[in-house]
Structure 1
Amino acid sequence: MARYVFITGGVVSSLGKGLASAALGALLQARGFSVRLRKLDPYLNVDPGTMSPFEHGEVFVTDDGAETDLDLGHYERFTGVSARKTDSVSSGRIYSNVLEKERRGDYLGKTIQVIPHVTNEIKDFLKIGDSEVDFMLCEIGGTVGDIEGLPFFEAIRQFGQDRPRGQCIFMHLTLLPYLAASGELKTKPTQHSVKELRSIGLQPDVLVCRSEHPIPEKEIAKIALFCNVRKEAVIPAYDLKTIYEAPLAYHRAGLDQAVLDAFGISPAPRPNLERWTDVMDRLTHAEGEVRVAIVGKYTQLEDAYKSIAEALTHGGMANRTRVRAEWIDAEIFEREDPAPYLEPFHAILVPGGFGERGTEGKIKAAQYAREKRIPYLGICLGMQMAVIEAARNLAGITTAGSEEFDHETGKKRFVPVVYHLKEWVQGNHVVARKQGDDKGGTMRLGAYTANLLPGSKVAQIYGSTQIEERHRHRYEVDIQYRAQLEACGLIFSGMSPDGRLPEIVEVRDHPWFIGVQFHPELKSKPFAPHPLFADFVRAAVEGARLV
């Protein structure tokens, strides 16, 4: 039976609950324990799949096809444990499940209420995989006091009472603001946050206090006294130069020891932190720097491309090189020549996205990289734009485009080199989709196998001719144009096992030009950089040396 750590937040959002949870998971692993991390989000969307990247950041996709919160990316990057559908749930999903059961008559005519029906549904979710790991870390989104989060707080209160004594603890993350006028840290916001938490029946066992300034011992003692927490369990959390310092920083602050003490695990196994000291050594002792342009359409919010930014960092670590990623709005290139913007960079990355806005700019970025022989990595939509660029400028299909863009306007403007996927094979069955289907959860989602062309660049990079990568898209490159494009030098070097769906393209006789339909960034980790990103950065380094 797993021990449970419930992580909540107070005062303000975006304090770093996800990062603290991930770091704690990494520290427990370093002490020899197995862990799984989960996110419970209070919003009413069934999943983040239909939410704007400007509002919610990126959507992280699991191997089994769940569209989840970006915090699950942190969990995977820090622990290496592949997330599953059962590791993410929202209020929308919980209420949807309850209402489906009510419609089926599963409640035998009872009046359906938040307590016990909604809270029971949450508790049933928490129990999934209970016997598989030593520790289950469950992060509650939002802050204490949020009205939509109350069912989750009530559910974890009940869950803590239902389990044997000593099986559940509560970790609360708060802010200690600094008032420059008086030159002091203020503990009252933390006190009030804990008071609010205690009013709904939850007493924190561990307090993590975010602060931009050192927290004096007297303030730690004051917090412990007024919040009814052991002094050793008040953990300072300061701003860091890199998120990958978090495991070592939290260990120095005593977080993992405080958690084990709360569970009464003594003596605690000694931690092996070699993995994280190596990560920090690679980050802090870079031997060079390369500049990578990310030409995207959600550049106003870097969290929209969170996993890509981290995967580039990992690729840099693999090469002991600092990667300076800079964001460029693709729409600029629809009005201006991309050359002045892209000339200073050693490599170009065009990420995914939805809709026509900015796509002509992405096509110009792909053309610039191909013609100037600059390393190029196109991901999802970035691959499709590279194919359209080659179709227009190499194969002579001057009106090449995507069915997605015609569907938006209702006009036939393009030869659809990229088309809406109507059916595909998933496991042992065929999945069918129509243009008018609901938007949520109706894409090709999750891990799919691809066969690589022997001798191709990607086969050399992966060291294999068969791979499995995660997907999230509705549209596919049409293979009816394959012969034309390959005759012009765009090689289809990765295909689905049935040979119907292009997974990877690469430009023949180019130093490094690869487009992938999947999202390799989702599987990259600081201690195991994704091979595509590692080799992409290597190519950028080589290009920089030739300049």
Structure 2
Amino acid sequence: MARYIFITGGVVSSLGKGLASAALGALLQARGFTVRLRKLDPYLNVDPGTMSPFEHGEVFVTDDGAETDLDLGHYERFTGVAARRTDSVSSGRIYSNVLEKERRGDYLGKTIQVIPHVTNEIKDFLSIGDDEVDFMLCEIGGTVGDIEGLPFFEAIRQFSQDHPRGQCIFMHLTLLPYIAASGELKTKPTQHSVKELRSIGIAPDILVCRSEGPIPQKERDKLALFCNVRPDAVIAAQDLSSIYEAPLAYHREGLDQAVLDAFGIQPAPKPDLTKWEDVSDRIFNTDGEVRVAIVGKYTQLEDAYKSIAEALTHGGMANRVKVRAEWIDAEIFDSADPAPSLSGFHAILVPGGFGERGTEGKIKAAQYAREHKIPYLGICLGMQMAVIEAARNVADLSDAGSEEFDHEAGQKRFTPVVYHLKEWIQGAHKVERRVEDDKGGTMRLGAYVAHLKEGSKVAQIYATTRIEERHRHRYEVDIKYRDKLEGKGLIFSGLSPDGRLPEIVEWKDHPWFIGVQFHPELKSKPFDPHPLFRDFVRAALETSRLV
């Protein structure tokens, strides 16, 4: 049975609980243990699938088609363990499950209450797969004291009491603010946060204290005394220049040893950190720099494209170059020439998105990359915009468009090169969707197989003709325009197994121009960069040497 580590946060949000959880998972792996990481989010949305990226950052998609919090991306990138639907749950999902059971009569007429029915549902979720790994790391979203998070805190308190002593520990992440006027590092916010946590029956075993710089021994001793933890269980989490320093930094602080001590695991297996030392070396010892323009619509919040930013970093590590990604709002190209803004870049990436805003700018970015022979990677909507650009400007379909932006395609107001997918095959089953269906969870989600064309650029990049990648979209490029577009040089180099759904397009006479319907960024890792991003950065590097 797994040992459980519950990670909570206090004082303020966005301190890095997800990163700390991921780094700890990587350190436990380095000591030979198996891990799985989970996220429990207090919000009432069933999942983040219908939330604006400005609200919650990107939506991370698992192989089995779950739309989850972006922290699961951190978990995968640091541990290499593929996340599953059962690794993410929200208050909305928990309450929905409880109400469905009540409607079915599962509770046999009892009055439904937060305790025990909601907390039992949370505990049941926590127990899934607890015989599969050595450690289960469970991060609780938000901060202690949030009213919506109380059922989760009560549930993990009960869970720790339900299990044998020594099977569950609590790690609390807080802020140590530095007051410049007095020149002091203040411990009082952490003390109050721990007091709040203890008031609901949870005593932290380990304190992880986020600070701008080192924590003096005096403050460590004070925190240990007033928060009732061992002095060597007060861990400093200093600001880092790269998130991939975190495993080594936390190891130097003794986090993994503190966790093993809290569980009484003696003797502690020695860690093998070779992999993370190599990652660190590739980050800080680069030879050159490339500039990549990301032309999107959510550029005001980088977390909206978190996995893309990280995958570009991984591509840079694979080529030992620094990738300087710069975010450009696609809307500025709607009514302006993109050349002045894009001329200094070595590559252009157009990511996914929803809705019409900024799409004309993305089309212009694809056109600029095609005409100027600049490496181009179009992801999801970025591929669709590249196809529409080709249809309009090369294949004589000047009215080419997408049903996503105009549902009156039946009136022939434009040529629907991109259409709403109404049915597809998922495994051995046919899935059907309608335009008027609910938005949440109704897209083509999760891992699907694609077959690559022999001799194509993508087949060379992947070194295979069969791949499996994650999807999140409800509109597709129409296969019926394939012959017309291929006659002009836009090759459909990746297709679904039944040959109906275009998965990858590439320009035949272009140094590097690829559009993919899936999201390759979701499977990239620092120690295993995704082939497309590795080769995209390599192409950008070649372009930089020609400038």
Q: Secondary structure at the match of 2:225?
A: helix
CA deviations over 1:185-239 (Å, ceiling 9, x no partner): 1100000000000000000000000011321101100000000000010001100
The alignment-based identity, stated in percent, is 85
Number of the residue aligned with 1:37:
37
CA contact (8 A) 1:403 1:414 kept: no
Asked if 1:66 corresponds to 2:31, the answer is no
Mapped to 2, the partners of 1:335 and 1:386 lie a distance apart of 18
Asked if 1:21 corresponds to 2:24, the answer is no
Amino acid of the residue matched to residue 494 of structure 2? Answer: G
Mapped to 2, the partners of 1:166 and 1:409 lie a distance apart of 63
Matches within 5 A, 1:503-514: 503-514=503-514
Number of the residue aligned with 2:238:
238
Mapped to 2, the partners of 1:314 and 1:320 lie a distance apart of 9
Mapped to 2, the partners of 1:319 and 1:39 lie a distance apart of 33
CA deviations over 1:460-506 (Å, ceiling 9, x no partner): 00000000000000000001100000000000000000000000000
Asked if 1:437 corresponds to 2:428, the answer is no
CA deviations over 1:491-539 (Å, ceiling 9, x no partner): 0000000000000000011000000000000000000000000000000
Cα distance change on mapping 1:412 and 1:10 into 2, 3 Å: farther
Q: Secondary structure at the match of 2:405?
A: helix
CA positional deviation for 1:419: 0.2
Asked if 1:193 corresponds to 2:193, the answer is yes
Number of the residue aligned with 1:269:
269
Matches within 5 A, 1:264-413: 264-407=264-407, 413=413
CA contact (8 A) 1:406 1:412 kept: no
CA deviations over 1:386-428 (Å, ceiling 9, x no partner): 0000000011000100000003999864211000000000011
Number of the residue aligned with 2:83:
83
Asked if 1:459 corresponds to 2:459, the answer is yes
Matches within 5 A, 1:151-170: 151-170=151-170
Cα distance change on mapping 1:17 and 1:409 into 2, 3 Å: farther
CA contact (8 A) 2:453 2:493 kept: yes
Number of the residue aligned with 1:538:
538
Q: Secondary structure at the match of 2:336?
A: coil
CA contact (8 A) 2:77 2:526 kept: yes
Mapped to 2, the partners of 1:115 and 1:370 lie a distance apart of 60
Of residues 212-221 and 353-362 in structure 1, the stretch that sits farther from structure 2 once superposed is 212-221
CA positional deviation for 1:105: 0.5
Number of the residue aligned with 2:210:
210
Mapped to 1, the partners of 2:543 and 2:451 lie a distance apart of 29
Matches within 5 A, 1:49-60: 49-60=49-60
CA contact (8 A) 1:178 1:213 kept: no
Number of the residue aligned with 1:138:
138
CA deviations over 1:333-366 (Å, ceiling 9, x no partner): 0021100000000000000000000000000000
User: CA RMSD of the aligned region, Å?
Assistant: 1.0
Amino acid of the residue matched to residue 311 of structure 1? Answer: A
Of residues 409-418 and 293-302 in structure 1, the stretch that sits farther from structure 2 once superposed is 409-418
Q: Secondary structure at the match of 2:406?
A: helix
Q: Secondary structure at the match of 1:102?
A: helix
CA contact (8 A) 2:40 2:88 kept: yes
Number of the residue aligned with 2:524:
524
Q: Secondary structure at the match of 2:354?
A: coil
Mapped to 2, the partners of 1:532 and 1:437 lie a distance apart of 33
> Could you list the runs of 5+ residues in structure 1 that have no partner in the other structure?
none
Asked if 1:487 corresponds to 2:515, the answer is no
TM-score (norm 1): 0.99
Amino acid of the residue matched to residue 315 of structure 1? Answer: G
Number of the residue aligned with 2:469:
469
TM-score (norm 2): 0.99
Q: Secondary structure at the match of 1:336?
A: coil
Cα distance change on mapping 1:472 and 1:125 into 2, 3 Å: same
CA deviations over 1:302-334 (Å, ceiling 9, x no partner): 000000000000000000010000000000000
Amino acid of the residue matched to residue 270 of structure 2? Answer: R
Q: Secondary structure at the match of 1:406?
A: coil
CA contact (8 A) 1:355 1:408 kept: no
Q: Secondary structure at the match of 2:191?
A: helix
CA deviations over 1:165-190 (Å, ceiling 9, x no partner): 10000000000001111100110000
Mapped to 1, the partners of 2:302 and 2:516 lie a distance apart of 21
CA contact (8 A) 2:39 2:72 kept: yes
Mapped to 2, the partners of 1:412 and 1:191 lie a distance apart of 66
Number of the residue aligned with 2:4:
4
Of residues 33-42 and 413-422 in structure 1, the stretch that sits farther from structure 2 once superposed is 413-422
Number of the residue aligned with 2:421:
421
CA contact (8 A) 1:157 1:201 kept: yes
CA positional deviation for 1:546: 1.2
Q: Secondary structure at the match of 1:377?
A: strand
Q: Secondary structure at the match of 1:256?
A: helix
Q: Secondary structure at the match of 1:405?
A: coil
> Could you list the runs of 5+ residues in structure 2 that have no partner in the other structure?
none
CA contact (8 A) 1:347 1:374 kept: yes
Q: Secondary structure at the match of 1:404?
A: coil
Q: Secondary structure at the match of 2:39?
A: strand
